[in-house]
């Protein structure tokens, strides 16, 4: 199909809105933490963004959206984005925008999803452990799940449809957060000193920017300017008879 300039412009905006959610997440969480840990949460989020972006460029997109291997994972045909067009679409995913723009929009999801786990491990995990955790979780959980649902894998073949990541993003990261909380256990010396937020205005600013970014997150998932879905994330699942 011919590239659509309106769809391309909207997807550039939508991807930028999702990118905005990443520093907004840092503002929101740092405002709720103790002052001494505000810098550490930003370090985790921005270093995590850099690492996850490189992983997605090198092999993550190919593993997630590449031609399927038995419905379980994508092959390595698109490593380093080899063969992904900049002046033509990936027809099977987004037929009216450049292929690299689809890669960029999906990168925003691949980056923010593991970084949502910072809310679970804030003040409770070493920086090095956090980086290993999000890298391993992306490779072992997120990339395969993306392929199963969005990349034409076995769940997609059964008829599972997920608009804007209710399954791929929110359910997966929620289960990961629960697992991390169980492994880390209860806080030591939990009391009023830990409960006092560092800055409520920072938290409100961060939550407001997250809200703004959500318009790109949800409406952008339609992958076109004319197909946005109003309201919150919509999940539609059904099993083929």
- Summarize pLDDT for 41-88 with one digit per residue, the tens: 999 999 999 999 999 999 999 999 999 888 899 999 999 999 999 999
pLDDT at site 238: 35
Percent of the chain surpassing pLDDT 90: 71
Start-to-end CA distance of the chain, whole Å, equals 32
Q: What is the DSSP letter of 221?
A: G
Q: Give the DSSP letter of residue 189.
A: T
Residue 100 has pLDDT above 70, yes or no: yes
Residue 90 is given by DSSP the state: B
- CATH number, residue 137: 1.10.3430.10
> CB under 8 Å to 74, separation ≥6 — which residues?
62, 63, 64, 65, 66, 67, 68, 147, 151
Say how far apart CA 198 and CA 188 lie, in whole Å: 19
The answer for 133, left when phi > 0, alpha when psi is -120 to 50, beta otherwise, is alpha
| Confidence band for 156, pLDDT divided at 50, 70 and 90 | very high
Whether 11 contacts 223, CB under 8 Å = yes
Distance CA 83, CA 99 (A): 9
- pLDDT, residue 230, reads 38
The domain of 107 spans 5-240
Per-residue pLDDT band at 185 (split at 50, 70, 90): confident
pLDDT tens-digit readout, 160-172: 999 888 999 999 9
Model confidence, pTM = 0.88
- The total number of structural domains that make up the chain: 1
Q: Is 80 left (phi over 0), alpha (psi -120 to 50) or beta?
A: left
Q: Write down the pLDDT at residue 2.
A: 82
Of the candidates 59, 235, 63, which has an alpha carbon nearest to the alpha carbon of residue 148?
Answer: 63
Q: Give 36 or 8, the one with higher predicted confidence.
A: 8
Classify the phi-psi angles of 70: left when phi > 0, otherwise alpha if psi is within -120 to 50, otherwise beta: left
**Structure confidence at residue 125 (pLDDT):** 87
Which helix or strand (DSSP H or E) is residue 81 part of? none
């Amino acid at each position: 199909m011919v590239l659509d300039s309106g769809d391309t412009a909207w997807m550039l905006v939508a991807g930028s809105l999702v990118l905005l959610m990443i520093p907004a997440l840092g503002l929101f969480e740092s405002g709720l933490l103790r002052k001494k840990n505000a810098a550490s949460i930003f370090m985790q989020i921005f270093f995590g963004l850099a690492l996850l972006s490189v992983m997605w460029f090198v092999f993550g997109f190919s593993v997630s959206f590449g031609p399927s291997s038995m419905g379980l994972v994508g092959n390595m045909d698109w490593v380093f984005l080899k063969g992904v067009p900049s002046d033509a679409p990936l027809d099977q995913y987004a037929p009216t925008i450049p292929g690299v723009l689809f890669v960029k929009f999906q990168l925003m999801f691949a980056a923010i999803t593991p970084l949502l786990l910072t809310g679970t491990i804030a003040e409770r995990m070493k920086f090095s452990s956090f980086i290993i955790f999000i890298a391993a979780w992306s490779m072992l959980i997120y990339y395969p799940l993306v392929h199963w649902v969005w990349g034409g894998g076995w769940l997609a073949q059964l008829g599972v449809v997920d608009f804007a990541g209710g399954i791929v993003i929110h359910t997966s990261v929620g289960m990961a957060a629960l697992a991390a909380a169980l492994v880390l256990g209860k806080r030591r010396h939990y009391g009023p000193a830990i409960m006092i937020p560092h800055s409520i205005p920072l938290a409100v600013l961060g939550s407001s920017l997250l809200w703004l970014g959500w318009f790109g997150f949800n409406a952008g998932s339609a992958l076109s300017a004319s197909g946005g879905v109003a309201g919150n994330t919509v999940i539609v699942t059904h099993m083929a008879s």
